[in-house]
Homo-oligomer: A and B are copies of this chain.
Amino acid sequence: MHVSDLPIGVFDSGIGGLTVVRQMRRALPNEDLVYLGDTARVPYGTKSPATVVRFACEDTQFLADQQVKAVVVACNTASAWALSTLERRFDLPLFGVILPGVRAALAASRNRRIGVIATPATIRSQAYTRAFLARDDSLELVVRDCPLLVPLVEEGWTSGPVTEAVLREYLAPLLQRRIDTLVLGCTHYPLLRATIAAVAGPEVTLVDSAERCAEYVAEGLRQLGRLCVGRTRPGRVLPFVTDDTRWFDEQAAQFLGETPDPASRVALPIIEMR
């Protein structure tokens, strides 16, 4: 079997990374995908850097053991803190979600005032700030951590008065600074897109890191000669989780836009960090 025929591995702290898988299914319909959601330890966005790095190494080791040809870190928090460690530890092409979002926002903004909303851990990492300013240090960046948005999505409250009130509170300082572009810096946030758009108003362009990540992976694999160009059958999605499969199986379609095969529950390899 040629390496280009192997599946692509994708992991996230939980179920949010399926929004990346959804876009990858559109961009790369014939690729097989192995998805890992670390649902026993979700969320990552409120945990410390050292813990996020350790969890991300264990997730990547699991995918490497499944013989994947590349790994997509479909979690902004893990991309922010762990990508460089993963690149040192694993001999596999690795793709994060931050860089593609940054590129898309730079292309979209006209007034050079860009907002980023993300989990506390992602914001604390300054990964977005550093990636933006390395490309254009004249930008005005307004970042905000939004710890309630992941729980709201997981509760299923993607619209309605409570979610609008939370978003008005979180977005107020960004809108006061008149941003024209807003990066949804967490793979859960695409499910709030309509409500975020309503609160942010029509002058603000929303950049969905999930969507941009899929294009970035397609481009990267093409450059590496690892696209499975010969396959004509539709690709498959093989889901794994670390907690009970039932909740995942019930919720997955909402994120993925199609019903995946039933998930399998797995124990992850344990990695001791030094």
Query: Which chain A residues have a beta carbon within 8 Å of chain B's beta carbons?
Result: 39-42, 46-51, 147-148, 150-152, 154-155, 157, 161-162, 165-166, 169, 242-244, 246-247, 270
A41: chain B residues at CB < 8 Å are 40-41
A242: chain B residues at CB < 8 Å are 51
- Which of A49, A151, A152, A244 has the largest number of chain B CB atoms within 10 A? A151
Q: Contact check, A48 vs B244: say whether CB atoms are below 8 A apart.
A: yes
A40: chain B residues at CB < 8 Å are 41, 47, 51
A148: chain B residues at CB < 8 Å are 148, 151-152, 155, 157
A49: chain B residues at CB < 8 Å are 244
User: In the complex, what distance in Å separates the CA atom of A46 from the CA atom of B42?
Assistant: 9
Nearest-CB residue, chain B, relative to A169 = B162
Q: Contact check, B244 vs A50: say whether CB atoms are below 8 A apart.
A: yes
A247: chain B residues at CB < 8 Å are 48
15 A-B residue pairs with Cβ-Cβ distance under 8 Å, sorted by A, are A40-B41, A40-B51, A41-B41, A48-B243, A48-B244, A48-B247, A49-B244, A51-B243, A147-B154, A148-B155, A151-B151, A162-B165, A162-B169, A165-B165, A270-B270
User: In the complex, what distance in Å separates the CA atom of A151 from the CA atom of B169?
Assistant: 16
User: In the complex, what distance in Å separates the CA atom of A51 from the CA atom of B150?
Assistant: 21
A147: chain B residues at CB < 8 Å are 151, 154-155
A246: chain B residues at CB < 8 Å are 48
A166: chain B residues at CB < 8 Å are 162
User: In the complex, what distance in Å separates the CA atom of A40 from the CA atom of B46?
Assistant: 9
A157: chain B residues at CB < 8 Å are 148
Nearest-CB residue, chain B, relative to A244 = B48
- Which of A49, A162, A247 has the largest number of chain B CB atoms within 10 A? A162
- Whole-angstrom distance from the CB of A233 to the nearest CB of chain B? 34
A46: chain B residues at CB < 8 Å are 42, 154
User: In the complex, what distance in Å separates the CA atom of A68 from the CA atom of B27?
Assistant: 57
User: In the complex, what distance in Å separates the CA atom of A244 from the CA atom of B157?
Assistant: 30
Extra pairs beyond A46-B154, A51-B243 (7, CB < 8 Å) = A39-B47, A40-B47, A41-B41, A51-B244, A147-B151, A151-B151, A162-B165
A270: chain B residues at CB < 8 Å are 270
- Whole-angstrom distance from the CB of A139 to the nearest CB of chain B? 28
- Whole-angstrom distance from the CB of A155 to the nearest CB of chain B? 5
- Whole-angstrom distance from the CB of A124 to the nearest CB of chain B? 10
